[in-house]
Amino acid sequence: MDSHSSPSSRKVRSPGGSSGGSNNRGSGGQTVKFARRTSSGRYVSLSRDDIEVPDEISGDYMNYTVHIPPTPDNQPMDGSVAVKAEEQYVANSLFTGGFNSVTRAHLMDKVIESEVSHPQMAGAKGSACAMPACDGKVMKDERGVDVTPCACRFKICRDCYMDAQKGTGLCPGCKEPYKMGDDYDEVPDYSSGALPLPAPDDSKGNMSVMKRNQNGEFDHNRWLFETKGTYGYGNAFMPQDGGDERNEGIQGGVIETMDKEWKPLSRKTPIPAAILSPYRLLIAIRLVVLGFFLTWRLQHKNEDAIWLWFMSVTCELWFAFSWILDQIPKLCPVNRSTDLQALWDKFDMPSPTNPTGRSDLPGVDMFVSTADPDKEPPLVTANTILSILAVDYPVDKIACYISDDGGALLTFEAMAEACSFADLWVPFCRKHDIEPRNPESYFSVKGDPTKNKSRSDFVKDRRKIKREYDEFKVRINGLPDSIRRRSDAFNAREEMKMLKHMRESAADPMEPIKVQKATWMADGTHWPGAWAVPSKDHAKGDHAGILQVMLKPPSSDVLIGGADDKIIDFTDVDIRLPMFVYMSREKRQGYDHNKKAGAMNALVRCSAILSNGPFMLNLDCDHYIYNCKAVREGMCFMMDRGGEGICYIQFPQRFEGIDPSDRYANHNTVFFDGNMRALDGVQGPVYVGTGTMFRRFALYGFDPPNPDKGHKVGSEMQNLGPSDFDPDLDVNLLPKRFGNSTLLAESIPVAEFQARPLADHPAVKYGRRPGALRQPREPLDAATVAEAVSVISCWYEDKTEWGDRVGWIYGSVTEDVVTGYRMHNRGWQSVYCITKRDAFRGSAPINLTDRLHQVLRWATGSVEIFFSRNNALLATRKLKFLQRLAYLNVGIYPFTSIFLVVYCFLPALSLLSGHFIVQTLNVAFLIYLLIISICLILLAILEVRWSGVGLEEWWRNEQFWLISGTSAHLAAVVQGLLKVIAGIEISFTLTSKSAGDENEDVYAELYLVKWTSLMIPPIVIGMMNILSIAVAFSRTVYSAIPEWSKFIGGAFFSFWVLAHLYPFAKGLMGRRGKTPTIVFVWSGLIAITLSLLWISINPPKGGTPATLNGGFIFP
């Protein structure tokens, strides 16, 4: 048999199995070594040659041009034992490494205390190895059945098998040579229709295929039909008409797709003209009236109180400017809808060239980030992971990654427990079409669980899975104590060993025993991350990089469960699980790790090496998938005509656990359903940090494709590199932009190609061929995982453009907004996807103090944006005008707080001074005020109509706008100015708190009062307005000539301020007398101080001489 390619060449892997030639495993000359820990506890170092598959058994890596058909007597093993051994070794190893350290693969015999059953999961082992003096475990296949590489069925573990291959090559059982063509049970069924993705090097793909039926027997007719071959031994696969066999299949796929009626995957629905036209007209009317009103105000000064007039006019001018920035971008709101059936017909429907219905959808890498298990409970994170693993999307196209920035063993073992429970939960969701697929939320839903359930065994299955979930929660909640007890036991053992050694060496018995208080894993070894008692190389900010493939990549074909495999009958249910990876990037002292943005960039690089999904979806650890078809909904936009120019799909944020009245506007529906929907009609919504599906290529800092310069779809894909997408990028300067990982650089054109929509319509000028992504994913090997460890090291980003042009952008606490702005500034579009069933749901702080601190962080980021090069005033021409106004408003809105605070004091100053902002309440002023107010009310009503926001929600948003504007926004401006001018960092922290009762309801946090300095300005404003109303009313009543018009004018605006502060007052009062004493102390002190200050500034007339001289004496 002839071969025309090197048998040991490894390719850049991708969800579709794409490959691009690369033999370079390392990056930047970094030495990568491997070590494995055997079952007996000793470490064995492995060289690269030990890890590579030997030439004589590496048939899976060869690319043949002459094929031997798989007949009953000759059936090639497409998934060879050696490859399975390597993949299982990777899945059971904990990889660690970092700066100036070797990369180690620690083979773990035990990941968690409980038993692991799913064959994809780390720690899943078969029966005992039959070799003498070996305590290893036999390898398992996809179904968990022992893999025996020899026909004699001699059970042998992976290490002994590799030793036998390198030694005599004989089976230790029958003493016969291993035959790589021998049968074994349950060979994966790689059915045809797997059209190879043209690689950057245009290399030929391996066209060997396995054709077996469900009984494991070879299906001749199926092979003949699907490969269009002829029966015989040693047939050469001859392309017809001298063409390439791959082209023939591809063109057939195009013809077949073109014969179908083309359907759009998404539609843009404009807002009805009956609503939008009056809305735009009212904006124009209010804009004109505002112009006339401000002109009139400037021309009619209040000579009696020029200071009052000047302050009011200045504030009104700024409010008009701020209103324009907020209102003008809302001129073009749109609605969008998707067609999931059309998506299935185009990418998943079985056809003559794809009889098994293998999906042609691109891969999606899902990111979850967490940092501290004490603040972010592991159970919440585990539920989020379970909702991702159960998502309704092709299993082999999903890869889930979690970034643990704290490097905590608690998070690691909680994720392992989640993977173990997913063995039952995910097939249960598929069997009964469960929604939502977050176990905690599902079992908390009130109502009839049997609604719309047709299977008779649903109640029995639900009862079983509920019992298993309760046990799962007990294990998760018990992990902290379990880890502590285990660590104490192992540390005590180490102390005993040390004490024994000291006695044997006749050391001084009075010398204290020095044993590190380590944190121990379930297999009895040190945890490489942060320890409970921090020490060198084992602290939150100082630990090695950690990578564990907890669930190895699934097989490409459906794996049907059985009746006896689990406690639940999963017959006719796919029991595969998506790939799941635990990652904790390396952290060292002296490095700026850039918080969440740095963690997300580490996830981007790590996933590019391991799975290279062309799309990425990021979620916070408390945001879970509420709609299992959400990913498909987003893919309708990415894969539709024109989708190649979309950089990300933003889903609205929806929250649970909010009080029914939504006192502090936590739902934020005015922003998510109003502003974001309006921006969708311009250049797209801003990126808000979570629930976003990214195009990987756009996040790499490239410009959107130019269809006029696109490559012809009907021909072979050319040798494309990063410089083809960015003319200014020199190939030799790739390490400067992306780092020195060759695999990462080679994955870029693969991800770009796979993210293109199908070229199934003449209008699609920048697409890919149908069927290009049906090829199975390549198995992982140790060298690839080691490369992934190197790209998450703390030094990798040095002297690169990560965080500056590539990935999440650094330099702001609101890295999400800046990252989205950079992409829009390069000409990309974004899309807002509102689904009928909420796509994602999460939690939000309902406590007043926590809510203010959340808003403070957002506003501080906006101030940083305003004083940086990310200011929209400096944007390129690719940013549309209305989009520029929206981003300008993002950076300017915190500064409105300065004028808002002054304006909220004006009614009190007016009442206390006896003057109003105008000389007299004449007709012109009242008419202008009336027209502006009516326009405001009508605009609110129409905005409620086209956005779907409730009127009460709109009012709650207005109230919290004033509360946050007079507290958190003002503090953010002060903090930002001090940082820019003086370089001083100020953080507003909690200074006191009061605890609630232990048995309170779910909204107990709402009534919890925690004192913070952010509360001072609203308290002062409220007290000032209340006192001024009382003083002005008393003075007017007892005045010889009462001036009720001035009192009513001032009192009206004071009541306007107090009405907006009402939720703040309720939050300050708490519940059942729980208000901290400091609140009353502050209020009384402020009230007395302000009263004395006003009397000193403006003493009453007709008093004593001392009073007339400006002093004050007590009666």
The residues assigned a catalytic role are 405, 816
Task: Reduce the secondary structure of 769-837 to three states and give it as a string.
Answer: CCCCCCCCCCCCCHHHHHHHHHCCCCCCCCCCCECCCECCCCCCCCHHHHHHHHHHHCCCEEEECCCCC
Taking the alpha carbons at both ends of the chain, their separation in whole angstroms is 113
Q: Are 766 and 18 in contact (CB under 8 A)?
A: no
- For 209, residues 6+ apart whose C-beta sits below 8 A from its C-beta are 70, 78, 190, 191, 192, 194, 223, 226, 227
Backbone angles phi, psi at 1004, to 5 degrees: -60, -35
Angle between helices 1016-1037 and 1077-1097 (to 10 degrees): 50
- The runs of H, that is alpha helices, within 403-457 are 409-432, 439-444
Enter the tokens of residue 915: 């003057």
Q: How many CA atoms lie within 13 A of 751 on its CB side?
A: 30
Number of Cβ within a 10 Å radius of residue 194: 24
Query: How would you class 836 by CB atoms within 10 Å of its CB: exposed for 0-12, middle for 13-18, buried for 19 or more?
Result: exposed
Q: How many CA atoms lie within 13 A of 1082 on its CB side?
A: 19
- The amino acid that residue 338 corresponds to is T
Scored b (16 or more CB within 10 A) or e, 578-600 reads bbbbbbbbbbbeebebbebbbbb
Among the listed residues 589, 526, 580, 573, the one whose alpha carbon sits nearest the alpha carbon of residue 553: 580
Continuous segment of H or E residues that includes residue 461: helix 458-504
Scored b (16 or more CB within 10 A) or e, 775-808 reads bbbbbbbbbbbbbbbbbbbbbbbeebbbbeebbb
Pairing of strands 334-338, 43-46: unpaired
CA distances (Å), origin 193, targets 348, 355, 775, 858: 12, 7, 8, 49
Q: Are 394 and 16 in contact (CB under 8 A)?
A: no
Q: Are 70 and 76 in contact (CB under 8 A)?
A: yes
The rounded distance, in Å, linking the Cα atoms of 275 and 295 is 31
* DSSP 8-state class, residue 240: G
Sign (positive/negative) of CA torsion 1001, 1007, 1012, 1014? positive
Sign (positive/negative) of CA torsion 99, 101, 105, 109? negative
Q: Please, which residues bridge with residue 369 across strands?
A: 403, 620
- For 1042, residues 6+ apart whose C-beta sits below 8 A from its C-beta are 1036
* DSSP 8-state class, residue 75: -
Helices (H) and strands (E) counted in the chain, each on its own, are 33, 23
The rounded distance, in Å, linking the Cα atoms of 534 and 589 is 13
- The runs of H, that is alpha helices, within 260-305 are 273-299
* DSSP 8-state class, residue 56: G
Decide: helix, strand or coil at residue 982. coil
Enter the tokens of residue 888: 């300008």
Q: Are 600 and 797 in contact (CB under 8 A)?
A: no
Scored b (16 or more CB within 10 A) or e, 855-878 reads bbebbbbbbbbbeeebbbeebeee
Decide: helix, strand or coil at residue 624. strand
The rounded distance, in Å, linking the Cα atoms of 232 and 236 is 10
